[in-house]
C-alpha cells in the first residue's frame, strides 16, 4: 500500500519536518485515506510565546514575547555585572494543529531538555511533569487533544518551566550556570496506536547491544517493548534488521507478538552471528544501522512503526596496570570535557553547534569526551558515534548531595533516563554519577567529626545505589565516580571502592602551587589502589587569550602559563601507561556566572575560546595527538603584539616563540630570513624572534618536508628612548602593577607591563604592585569582578604608593588617560555574590580611606581622588586629560597622597600632533 521507503523516511525525519509532512500528505492522497501508516515526528521549535512569570498563573497576554526553541531566559543575565541570574518560573506556549486522522493515534510531546522542572499542559489540563534539566522526557497528550471536525484542530500547549534552586534536584551548586528554559528541541510524535514503547524514561523504547564481538563474529541483541493502545487485540510482527553502510542486510530476525487491548509486551531478538564485523573505532567509526519495525500480521505490507538505531561493533576493557583497550588493542584515551553553552547563546544551541564541538575535539586528535557535568543533547552523542569519539557521560551530582529520599530518587531517575536515552550510542563506554561530591561538607561537618562521618555514609549509600542501578541497567559499560584531589577523603568515604573506575580532577600547579604534585598523585593512586583503573578526568589552567607574559606564572591567566601547564601534564600522563585516560578541563571556555577573575563569568580553562578559537594549548595537543605530520606556531593567534626595542640603537624586540610539532626539528623564518633550526623537545621547538615594527611574517618549516605554518604578526615596537626619531612616538598603553601584555584586538591597542622610569624613557617612580591580601594564588593584582568594564584584567592590577609617572616624550600635544579602580576597600567576594544591591554593599564596606591628588605638568588636575569622590570599590573609572609637552620636559604626573596611599591602574598616552 505504501512505497517501501515511506516508513524509513518517517523514522528519519527529525529536523526536516516540512518536507516529510509534505510527503505524508502526498502519501495519504495517493492511498486514499487509509489504514496503517508509520510514526510521524514533527519538530516543534518554531513560533513559541514566552514570558517570565509568577509561580501559579500564566501572565497576561501582553507580556508574551515571540521566541523559538532552543531558548533560555538566562543568555544575557549570566554575563552582566549584577550578581546572580534569574532562577524562577518561565512560561512557554504554542498552538498545535493536529489533523483529524490523528485522533486514533498515540500522541506524545517529546522534550529533549527543559531546565530544570517542567509541567506540560494541553488545553489547560496537566499532561505531565518532569524533574531535572538535562534529560529528555515524553508526555502523552492524546487524551487531552481536541479534534473538531474533519480538518486541522488547534490545541494549546502551555509549559511551565522552573529553574529555581531546589535542594531535591541535582546539581545543587557548581562552577557553571544553571540556565532555565526549553533549551533543546521539542517534537510531536504521532505513532500508530500499536507502537514501540514511548513511555520508557524518554527513551526510544528499543535497546541494542552487542553481547559478543570479536574480529571473527558479532552477536547483536535487541530488546524492547511493544504497546497496544488500541481497543482491540492485535498480533504484530517485530522485525530487526542489521544493515551495513551499503544498505545490505547482514542479520535479521522476526518474531510475532500478540497483544491484548491496552497491553504492553516485551520482545527480545538475538541476532548471531555477523561474520567478520566491520569494527568501530576512532580511526574507523563504522556504523551499522539497526532497523526495528512493527508490521501488522494481517496486512503484509503495512509498517505500523519503525525505530532506527546506530550500531558500532566494538569491545573494550580497562586494566589497572595497562590502561584502556579497544577491540583488543591498547588505546590511550585522550580528550577533554565539554559544557553545553556557547558565547552569547547560553545553553540554547542548535544541534550544529553541539556537533561542531565534537568535531573540534576530533580535529585536536582527541578520542575521548567526558560529557560533563550532565547528560547533553542527543546531537553530541550522535556526533561521537559518527566521528569516533569515546564518551563518558554523567548525571549532575556535583559538589554535594542532599540527604532526602526525594534527592536520592531524583538521582536514580536521572541515571535511568540517561542510560536508557543514550544506551544505543556505541561511543558511550562509561556511565558516571558523581563529581567531587566531598568538595563541600555540609554545615557543621568536618572530616573528623560525627556529622562528617554521617555525611560520608550517606554519600556512599547514594553512590552504591547509583552504581548498582547502573550495572543492572547496562552490564556492558563501566561505572565511574569522579573525585577532587583529596585522596584520603574519598578513600575513607568508600568512594574509590564502589565504582569500576575512579576519575580524579587534579589541579596541582593551578589551584595548588606545585606541578610536581600531579605525577606524585597518579603514582599514589597506582600504589594504593592497584586494582582500580584510573582516569584523569580534569586538569586545566585558565587563560584569557588577551593576556600574555614571558614567562607566564601560575594563576596569571596568560596563555603562556596554560601552555606550559599542559605540556607538563601531558608528558607526565604519557610516562604512566596505567593511566587509562585523560580529559582536559575544558575543551571550550564556558559560562560560570559566579566566577570573577580576569574574565568574569567565564571559566577560561578552555583550549578553545568561548567563540571556538584555538588557544596555544589546543595547538600543542594537536601536535601530540594527531597522527598526521603537524606543525604550528603556538602563539599564531596572538597577531597584534608590542614591546620595547632591545637597546637604544636596536630596531627590534626579541620575544620567545614556541612551535608545536610531532616532527624532530623545526626551522623558523622571519620575513623570509632564517632564524635557525631547533630540536624539538617533548613536542616543542623554542625560538627567540626579533620582531620589527609593522608586519612580521613568521614561517615554521619542518626541514626536508613540505610541512609548514605561517603567522602574520603585527608588532607595535616601542622605542627605548621616546625621542628616538627612527621610531616616532605615537601611543603608549601601560597596565600598572602588571607583568602581562594585554592585546585589545578590536581597538588595535596593546597594553604593556609597567616598568620603572629611567631618564629618556617612561615609567613609574616609587610604590609597589598591588597584591590581594587574602589570595595566595594570584602573583599580583585582584581576582575581583570590576564593574563597568570589559577590561577587568587591566583594572585588577594597580601600583600602590607611586609618586610619579613620567614619560620623556618629545614636545607636542598629547592626550593622557588615567584608569583607576579601588581594589582595597572591596567587600569580600561572598558578601558581594549574594547581595543584589552592589552599590549598597560597596558603600557599606570599610574603605581604605585614601585621598590623593594628581598633578599633570605642575597643574593639579585631579584633586582629592578617593572613596568620597570618584573611586567606588571595584568600579572602573577613567579620566582623559589633554596635555602638552614643552621645552623637552616631557609629561610628568605627580601623585600626592592626602591620606592613605596613591594608586594608578592604567595609563594611556597618545600623541595628537
Residue 435 site contact among ligand GCB, Ca ion, none (CB < 5 to 8 Å, cut-off depends on kind):
ligand GCB
Distance CA 511, CA 509 (A): 6
SS3 for 225-244, per residue? EEEECCCCCEEEEEEEEEEC
603: partner contacted, choices ligand GCB, Ca ion, none (Cβ within 5-8 A by kind)? ligand GCB
Per-residue buried b or exposed e for 252-261, using 16+ beta carbons within 10 Å of the residue's own CB = ebeeebebee
* Interatomic CA distance for residues 728 and 718, integer angstroms: 9
Query: Per CB under 5 A, which region of 183-191, 232-240, 332-340, 664-672 contacts Ca ion?
Result: 183-191
Q: Residue 601 interacts with ligand GCB (CB under 6 A)?
A: no
* Least Cβ distance, residue 579 to ligand GCB (angstroms): 18
Q: What does the block give as the cell for 854? A: 594628581
Show the site string, 323-362: x = touches ligand GCB by CB under 6 A, - = not: ----------------------------------------
Cβ proximity to Ca ion, 75 vs 379, nearer residue: 379
The position carrying cell 514575547 is: 65
- Contact status, residue 365 vs residue 626, Cβ threshold 8 Å: yes
Question: Does 197 contact ligand GCB by CB under 6 A?
Answer: no
* Cα 506-508-514 angle, rounded to 5 deg: 165
* Residues in 459-478 at the binding interface with ligand GCB, rule: CB under 6 A: none
**Of 240, 291, 235, the residue nearest 268 (C-alpha):** 240
The rounded distance, in Å, linking the Cα atoms of 440 and 647 is 53
What is the spatial distance between Cα 737 and Cα 104, in angstroms, rounded to a whole number? 73
Nearer to ligand GCB, 512 or 908 (CB): 512
Among 357, 377, 412, 436, binds ligand GCB (CB under 6 A): 436
DSSP code per residue over 310-364: EE-B--EEEETTTEEEETTEE--EEEEEE-S-BTTTBT---HHHHHHHHHHHHHT
* Beta carbons of 885 and 891 less than 8 angstroms apart: yes
Q: Which residue has the cell 607538563?
A: 568
175 binds ligand GCB (CB under 6 A): yes
DSSP-derived secondary structure letter, 150:
S
Q: Which is nearer to ligand GCB, 778 or 893 (CB)?
A: 778
- Interface with ligand GCB includes 596 (CB under 6 A)? no
Nearer to Ca ion, 379 or 818 (CB): 379
Which residue's CB is nearer to ligand GCB, number 418 or number 592? 592
Q: How many C-beta atoms lie closer than 10 Å to residue 297's C-beta?
A: 13
Does position 489 interact with ligand GCB (CB under 6 A)? The reply is no
Residues pairing with 892 in the sheet: 806
User: Choosing among ligand GCB, Ca ion, none, which partner's interface includes residue 351 (Cβ < 5 to 8 Å by kind)?
Assistant: Ca ion
357 binds, among ligand GCB, Ca ion, none (CB under 5 to 8 A by kind): none
The C-alpha cell of 821 is what? 579602580
Binding of residue 635 to ligand GCB (CB under 6 A): no
Q: Which of residues 604 and 838 has its CB atom nearest to ligand GCB in the complex?
A: 604
- Contact partner, 185, from ligand GCB, Ca ion, none, Cβ < 5-8 Å per class: Ca ion
624 forms part of the interface with ligand GCB (CB under 6 A)? no
Q: Is the dihedral of CA 865, 868, 874, 877 positive or negative?
A: negative
From the CB of 514, what's the least distance to ligand GCB, in Å?
18
| Contacted by 797, from ligand GCB, Ca ion, none: CB < 5 to 8 Å by type | none
Q: Which of 532, 480, 485, 527 is nearest to 506 (CA)?
A: 485
What is the closest distance, in whole angstroms, from the C-beta atom of residue 176 to ligand GCB in the complex? Answer: 6
Which residues, in sequence order, are bridge partners of residue 657? 687
Query: Is residue 137 within the footprint of ligand GCB (CB under 6 A)?
Result: no
Binding mask 500-529 for ligand GCB (x = CB under 6 A): -----x------------------------
Which residue number places its CB atom closest to ligand GCB? 175
Pick between residue 499 and residue 737 the one whose CB is nearest to ligand GCB: 499
Q: Which is nearer to Ca ion, 351 or 589 (CB)?
A: 351
- CB under 5 to 8 A by kind: which of ligand GCB, Ca ion, none does 738 bind? none
Query: Closer CB to Ca ion, residue 333 or residue 361?
Result: 361
Nearest to 820 by CA among 844, 837, 797: 797
Q: Which does 195 bind (CB under 5 to 8 A by kind): ligand GCB, Ca ion, none?
A: none
Task: Tell me: does residue 487 bind ligand GCB (CB under 6 A).
Answer: no
The Cα–Cα gap between 129 and 132 comes to: 10
Minimal distance, residue 485 CB to ligand GCB, in Å = 9
Q: Which of 425, 484, 557, 566 binds ligand GCB (CB under 6 A)?
A: 484
Instruction: Give least dist CB 826 to ligand GCB, A.
Output: 22
Q: Pick out residues in 355-414 that bind Ca ion (CB under 5 A).
A: 377, 379
Q: Which residue, among 500, 497, 489, 427, has the nearest Cα to 456 in the 3D structure?
A: 489
Cell of 361: 575535539
Shorter beta-carbon distance to ligand GCB: residue 478 or 585: 585
Q: In 754-876, where do the E strands start and end?
A: 762-765, 768-769, 799-800, 804-807, 812-820, 851-856, 859-866
Identify which of residues 435 and 663 has a Cβ nearer to ligand GCB in the complex: 435
Pairing of strands 89-99, 48-53: antiparallel
Q: Which three cell numbers stand for residue 246?
A: 551499503
| DSSP output for 721-752 | STT-TTS---EEEEETT---EEEETTTTEEEE
Q: Which of 603, 701, 789, 804 binds ligand GCB (CB under 6 A)?
A: 603
3-state secondary structure of 10: helix
Q: Which residue has the cell 577532587?
A: 484
Which does residue 661 bind out of Ca ion, ligand GCB, none, counting CB within 5 to 8 angstroms by kind? none
Taking the C-alpha atoms of residue 29 and residue 664, their distance in angstroms, rounded to an integer, is 68
* Count of residues that interact with ligand GCB, criterion CB under 6 A: 11
Q: In this complex, which beta carbon is closest to Ca ion, that of residue 257 or of residue 348?
A: 348
- Give, in degrees to the nearest 5, the angle at Cα 860 between 855 and 866: 80
DSSP 432: E
- Residue 484: name its binding partner from Ca ion, ligand GCB, none (Cβ under 5 to 8 Å by kind): ligand GCB
CB of 399 to ligand GCB, least distance (A): 8
Query: Which among ligand GCB, Ca ion, none contacts residue 228 (Cβ within 5 to 8 A by kind)?
Result: none
Task: Work out what residue 377 binds among Ca ion, ligand GCB, none; the CB cut-off runs from 5 to 8 Å by kind.
Answer: Ca ion
Q: Which of 585, 618, 715, 852 binds ligand GCB (CB under 6 A)?
A: 585
Would you tell me how many other CB atoms lie within 10 Å of the CB of residue 134?
28
Tell me the chain's radius of gyration from C-alpha atoms: 31
Binding mask 604-623 for ligand GCB (x = CB under 6 A): -x------------------
* Alpha-carbon dihedral 69, 427, 438, 113, rounded to 10 degrees: 20
Please give the Cα distance from 658 to 570 (Å, whole number): 17
Cell of 515: 606541578
- Decide whether 185 or 385 has the Cβ nearer to Ca ion: 185
Nearer to ligand GCB, 156 or 488 (CB): 488
Kindly give, in sequence order, each residue whose CB lies less than 8 Å from that of residue 71, ignoring residues fewer than 6 positions away. Answer: 48, 50, 92, 181, 182, 183, 348
Closest distance to ligand GCB from the beta carbon of 524 (Å):
18
Q: Is 538 in the site for ligand GCB (CB under 6 A)?
A: yes
> Which of 119, 162, 185, 197 lies at the binding interface for Ca ion (CB under 5 A)?
185
> Applying CB under 6 A, which of residues 435, 567, 655, 877 lies at the interface with ligand GCB?
435
- Select from Ca ion, ligand GCB, none the partner in contact with residue 175, using the beta carbon and a kind-dependent cut-off of 5 to 8 Å: ligand GCB
Q: Residues in the site for Ca ion, rule: CB under 5 A?
A: 184-185, 351, 377, 379
Q: Residues in the site for ligand GCB, rule: CB under 6 A?
A: 174-175, 373, 435-436, 484, 505, 538, 585, 603, 605
Amino acid at each position: 500500500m505504501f512505497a517501501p521507503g515511506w516508513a524509513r523516511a518517517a523514522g528519519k525525519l527529525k529536523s526536516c519536518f516540512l518536507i516529510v509532512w509534505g510527503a505524508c500528505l502526498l502519501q495519504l492522497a495517493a492511498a486514499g485515506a487509509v489504514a496503517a501508516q508509520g510514526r510521524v515526528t514533527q519538530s516543534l521549535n518554531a513560533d513559541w510565546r514566552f514570558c517570565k512569570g509568577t509561580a501559579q498563573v500564566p501572565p497576561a497576554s501582553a507580556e508574551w514575547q515571540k521566541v523559538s526553541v532552543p531558548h533560555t531566559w538566562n543568555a544575557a543575565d549570566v554575563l552582566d555585572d549584577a550578581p546572580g541570574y534569574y532562577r524562577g518560573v518561565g512560561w512557554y506556549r504554542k498552538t498545535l494543529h493536529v489533523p483529524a486522522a490523528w485522533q486514533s493515534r498515540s500522541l506524545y510531546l517529546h522534550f529533549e531538555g527543559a531546565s530544570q522542572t517542567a509541567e506540560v499542559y494541553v488545553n489547560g489540563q496537566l499532561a505531565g511533569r518532569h524533574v531535572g534539566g538535562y534529560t529528555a522526557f515524553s508526555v502523552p497528550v492524546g487524551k487531552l487533544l481536541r479534534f473538531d471536525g474533519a480538518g486541522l484542530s488547534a490545541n494549546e500547549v502551555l509549559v511551565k518551566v522552573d529553574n529555581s534552586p531546589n535542594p531535591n534536584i541535582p546539581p545543587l551548586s557548581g562552577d557553571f550556570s544553571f540556565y532555565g528554559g526549553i533549551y533543546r528541541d521539542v517534537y510531536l510524535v504521532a505513532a500508530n496506536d500499536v507502537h514501540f514503547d514511548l513511555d520508557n524514561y524518554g527513551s526510544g523504547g528499543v535497546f541494542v547491544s552487542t553481547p559478543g564481538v570479536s574480529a571473527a563474529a558479532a552477536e547483536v541483541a535487541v530488546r524492547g517493548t511493544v504497546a497496544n493502545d488500541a481497543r482491540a487485540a492485535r498480533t504484530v510482527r517485530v522485525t530487526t534488521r542489521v544493515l551495513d553502510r551499503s544498505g545490505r542486510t547482514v542479520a535479521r530476525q522476526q518474531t510475532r507478538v500478540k497483544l491484548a487491548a491496552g497491553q504492553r509486551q516485551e520482545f527480545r531478538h538475538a541476532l548471531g552471528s555477523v561474520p567478520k564485523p566491520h569494527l568501530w573505532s576512532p580511526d574507523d567509526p563504522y556504523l551499522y544501522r539497526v532497523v526495528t519495525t512493527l508490521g501488522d500480521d494481517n496486512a503484509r505490507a503495512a509498517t505500523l512503526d519503525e525505530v532506527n538505531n546506530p550500531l558500532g561493533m566494538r569491545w573494550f576493557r580497562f586494566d589497572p596496570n595497562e590502561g584502556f583497550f579497544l577491540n583488543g588493542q591498547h588505546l590511550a584515551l585522550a580528550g577533554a570535557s565539554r559544557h553545553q553553552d556557547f558565547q552569547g547563546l547560553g545553553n540554547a544551541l542548535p544541534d550544529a553547534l553541539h556537533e561542531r564541538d565534537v568535531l573540534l575535539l576530533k580535529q585536536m586528535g582527541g578520542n575521548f569526551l567526558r560529557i560533563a557535568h550532565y547528560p547533553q543533547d542527543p546531537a553530541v552523542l550522535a556526533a561521537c558515534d559518527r566521528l569516533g569519539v569515546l564518551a563518558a557521560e554523567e548525571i549532575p551530582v556535583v559538589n554535594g548531595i542532599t540527604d532526602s529520599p526525594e534527592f536520592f530518587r531524583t538521582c536514580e531517575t536521572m541515571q535511568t533516563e540517561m542510560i536508557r536515552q543514550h544506551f544505543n550510542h556505541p561511543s558511550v563506554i562509561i556511565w558516571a554519577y558523581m563529581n567531587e561530591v566531598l568538595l563541600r561538607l555540609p554545615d557543621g561537618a568536618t572530616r573528623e567529626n560525627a556529622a562528617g562521618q554521617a555525611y560520608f555514609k550517606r554519600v556512599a549509600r547514594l553512590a552504591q545505589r547509583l552504581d548498582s542501578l547502573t550495572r543492572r541497567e547496562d552490564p556492558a559499560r563501566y561505572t565511574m565516580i569522579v573525585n577532587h584531589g583529596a585522596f584520603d577523603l574519598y578513600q575513607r568515604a568508600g568512594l574509590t571502592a564502589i565504582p569500576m573506575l575512579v576519575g580524579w580532577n587534579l589541579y596541582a600547579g593551578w589551584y595548588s602551587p606545585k606541578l610536581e604534585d600531579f605525577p606524585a598523585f597518579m603514582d599514589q593512586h597506582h600504589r594504593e589502589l592497584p586494582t582500580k583503573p584510573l582516569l584523569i578526568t580534569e586538569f586545566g589552567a585558565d587563560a584569557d587569550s588577551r593576556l600574555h607574559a614571558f614567562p607566564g606564572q601560575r594563576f596569571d591567566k596568560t596563555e603562556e602559563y596554560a601552555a606550559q601547564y599542559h605540556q607538563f601534564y601531558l608528558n607526565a600522563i604519557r610516562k604512566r601507561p596505567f593511566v587509562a585516560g585523560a580529559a582536559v578541563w575544558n575543551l571550550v571556555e564556558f559560562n560560570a556566572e559566579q566566577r570573577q577573575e580576569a574574565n568574569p563569568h567565564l571559566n577560561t580553562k578552555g583550549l578553545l575560546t568561548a567563540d571556538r578559537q584555538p588557544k596555544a594549548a589546543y595547538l600543542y595537543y594537536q601536535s601530540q595527538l594527531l597522527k598526521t605530520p603537524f606543525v604550528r606556531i603556538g602563539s599564531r593567534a596572538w597577531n597584534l603584539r608590542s614591546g620595547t626595542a632591545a637597546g637604544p640603537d636596536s630596531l627590534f624586540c626579541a620575544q620567545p616563540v614556541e612551535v608545536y610539532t610531532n616532527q624532530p626539528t623545526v626551522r623558523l623564518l622571519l620575513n623570509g630570513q632564517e632564524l635557525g633550526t631547533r630540536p624539538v623537545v617533548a613536542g616543542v621547538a623554542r625560538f627567540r624572534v626579533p620582531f620589527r615594527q609593522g608586519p612580521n611574517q613568521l614561517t615554521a618549516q619542518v626541514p626536508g618536508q613540505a610541512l609548514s605554518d605561517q603567522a602574520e604578526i603585527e608588532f607595535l615596537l616601542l622605542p627605548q628612548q621616546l625621542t628616538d626619531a627612527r621610531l616616532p612616538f605615537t601611543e603608549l598603553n601601560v597596565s600598572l602593577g602588571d607583568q602581562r601584555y594585554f592585546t585589545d584586538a578590536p581597538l588595535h591597542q596593546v597594553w604593556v607591563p609597567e616598568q620603572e622610569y629611567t631618564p629618556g624613557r617612561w615609567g613609574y617612580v616609587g610604590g609597589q604592585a598591588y597584591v590581594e591580601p587574602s589570595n595566595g594564588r594570584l602573583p599580583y593584582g585582584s581576582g575581583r569582578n570590576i564593574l563597568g568594564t570589559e577590561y577587568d584584567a587591566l583594572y585588577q592590577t594597580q601600583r600602590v604608593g607611586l609618586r610619579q609617572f613620567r614619560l620623556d616624550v618629545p614636545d607636542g600635544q598629547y592626550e593622557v588617560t588615567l584608569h583607576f579602580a579601588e581594589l582595597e576597600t572591596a567587600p569580600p567576594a561572598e558578601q558581594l555574590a549574594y547581595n543584589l544591591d552592589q552599590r549598597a554593599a560597596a558603600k557599606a564596606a570599610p574603605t581604605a580611606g585614601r585621598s590623593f591628588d594628581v598633578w599633570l605638568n605642575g597643574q593639579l588636575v585631579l584633586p582629592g581622588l578617593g572613596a568620597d569622590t570618584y573611586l567606588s570599590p571595584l568600579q572602573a573609572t577613567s579620566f582623559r586629560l589633554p596635555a602638552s609637552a614643552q621645552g623637552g620636559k616631557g609629561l610628568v604626573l605627580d601623585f600626592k597622597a592626602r591620606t592613605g596611599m596613591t594608586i594608578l591602574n592604567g595609563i594611556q598616552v597618545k600623541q595628537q600632533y
